[in-house]
């Protein structure tokens, strides 16, 4: 191995679903973490292959084969398992005794939504371990930091949801926008669609085009509604419309809402600052600057800002993050850091790279 000394690493980690984009990004980030040893890279499809042959950016950085060890077998051998697996996998496999042996950080939606009926309706699958929903913690770090510390089962938020929630959170919590007026239009890079071999995600099908998809039915809708409902203190109903655009990474959320009163720029700005100025990974931009995904790409940052339209009585809130980082892998590592007592920025302190 060229240059990475792992001798002092202490927290033992397994990654299930390690050859998808999110799983691979978790692996890459943990390779830069001071106190982690990656013990298992699990992949059914690539079982027996060298990880560095699949992700050749890691050539000579990691020397490890993909295996197909089961969740329960791995549980006794590691301190934490990251599951970057399809919807339904974990809730079908997980038993309470696994959580006695190790902690789990799950990238799927299996334990994000507390109401099992809503999960089953929007995902169209039965939930096989609803009893675990009680103890799962929703891993939006900046909102749930205290609960995350002791979580055994961490439900890492979705990419659209992290961006959508953080962008509107302060004003929703302060009742400064009308709660059911929210229209969220969000743009996503293609990596959010995963690494599966589908015609729809071929370069020649996706490049030089844009489309809305999942209109009225996208599964991140109830997740956003639930969390913003907690913020507001009442149920929230909103319109969420995602779009696919030709770039690798990035979520941009544009959120239009009716203001609940007459507020000045300074008043709104003060609220955002109150919530976020001490947050290392959330940046409230200067007046009139619109978030751009390139300025957060490759980092754990979420950039947010807003613009009041006195003419219409609306406020337009905007947020940008990297869907594979704060929208998936780096937020998972951020939560990992909180759970295991590390500096919250350990291993995820990347400065966005431009261009």
Stretch that binds its own copies, among 7-15, 68-76, 158-166, 195-203 (CB under 8 A): 195-203
Pick 12 or 195: Cβ nearer its own copies: 195
Pick 145 or 294: Cβ nearer its own copies: 294
Q: Smallest Cα–Cα separation from 85: which of 17, 155, 6, 154? A: 17
Cα–Cα distances in angstroms (integers) from residue 197 to residues 201, 203, 246, 255, in the given order: 8, 11, 17, 32
Cβ of residue 352: shortest distance to its own copies, in angstroms? 4
Site size toward its own copies (CB under 8 A) is 87
Q: 25-37: b or e for each residue (b if 16 or more CB lie within 10 Å)? A: bbbbbbeebebbb
By the rule CB under 8 A, 173 interacts with its own copies: no
Residues with catalytic annotation?
Answer: 159
Stretch that binds its own copies, among 157-165, 209-217, 227-235, 261-269 (CB under 8 A): 209-217
Give the end-to-end CA distance of the chain in Å, rounded to a whole number: 29
In sequence order, the β-bridge partners of residue 89 are none
Give the strand pairing for 80-83 and 11-16: parallel
By the rule CB under 8 A, 59 interacts with its own copies: yes
In sequence order, the β-bridge partners of residue 307 are 316
DSSP code for 114: S
By the rule CB under 8 A, 84 interacts with its own copies: no
Site string for its own copies, 307-336 (x = CB under 8 A): xxx-xx-x-x-x-x----------------
By the rule CB under 8 A, 206 interacts with its own copies: yes
Q: Which of 89, 175, 271, 295 binds its own copies (CB under 8 A)?
A: 295
* Alpha carbons 20 and 194: distance in angstroms, whole number: 7
DSSP code for 130: G
By the rule CB under 8 A, 285 interacts with its own copies: yes
By the rule CB under 8 A, 237 interacts with its own copies: yes
Q: Which of 76, 86, 233, 246 binds its own copies (CB under 8 A)?
A: 246
């Amino acid at each position: 191995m060229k240059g990475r000394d792992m001798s002092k690493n202490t927290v033992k980690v397994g990654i299930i679903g390690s050859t998808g984009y999110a799983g691979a990004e978790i692996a890459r980030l943990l390779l830069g973490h001071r106190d982690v040893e990656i013990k298992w890279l699990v992949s059914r499809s690539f079982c027996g292959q060298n990880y560095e042959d699949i992700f050749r950016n890691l050539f000579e950085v990691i020397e490890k084969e993909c295996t197909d060890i089961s969740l329960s077998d791995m549980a006794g051998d590691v301190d934490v398992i990251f599951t970057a697996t399809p919807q339904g996998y974990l809730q079908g496999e997980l038993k309470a005794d696994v959580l006695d042996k190790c902690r789990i950080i799950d990238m799927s939606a299996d334990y994000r939504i507390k109401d099992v009926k809503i999960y089953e309706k929007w995902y169209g699958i039965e939930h096989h371990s609803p009893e675990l929903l009680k103890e799962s913690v929703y891993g939006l770090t900046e909102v749930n930091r205290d609960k995350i510390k002791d979580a055994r089962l961490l439900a890492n938020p979705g990419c659209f949801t992290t961006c959508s929630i953080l962008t509107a959170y302060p004003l929703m919590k302060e009742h400064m926008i009308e709660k059911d007026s929210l229209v969220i239009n969000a743009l996503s890079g293609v990596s959010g669609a995963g690494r599966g071999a589908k015609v729809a995600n071929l370069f020649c099908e996706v490049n030089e085009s844009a489309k809305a998809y999942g209109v009225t039915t996208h599964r991140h809708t109830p997740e956003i509604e639930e969390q913003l409902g907690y913020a507001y203190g009442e149920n929230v109903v909103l319109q969420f419309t995602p779009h696919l655009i030709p770039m690798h990474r990035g979520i941009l959320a544009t959120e239009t809402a009716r203001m609940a009163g007459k507020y000045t720029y300074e008043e709104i700005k003060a609220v955002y600052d109150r919530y976020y100025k001490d947050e290392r990974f959330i940046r409230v931009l200067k007046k009139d600057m619109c978030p751009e995904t390139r300025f957060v790409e490759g980092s754990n940052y979420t950039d947010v800002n807003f613009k009041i339209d006195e003419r219409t009585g609306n406020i337009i809130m905007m947020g940008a993050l990297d869907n594979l980082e704060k929208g998936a892998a780096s937020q998972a590592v951020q939560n990992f850091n909180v759970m295991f007592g590390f500096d919250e920025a350990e291993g995820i302190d990347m400065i966005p790279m431009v261009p």
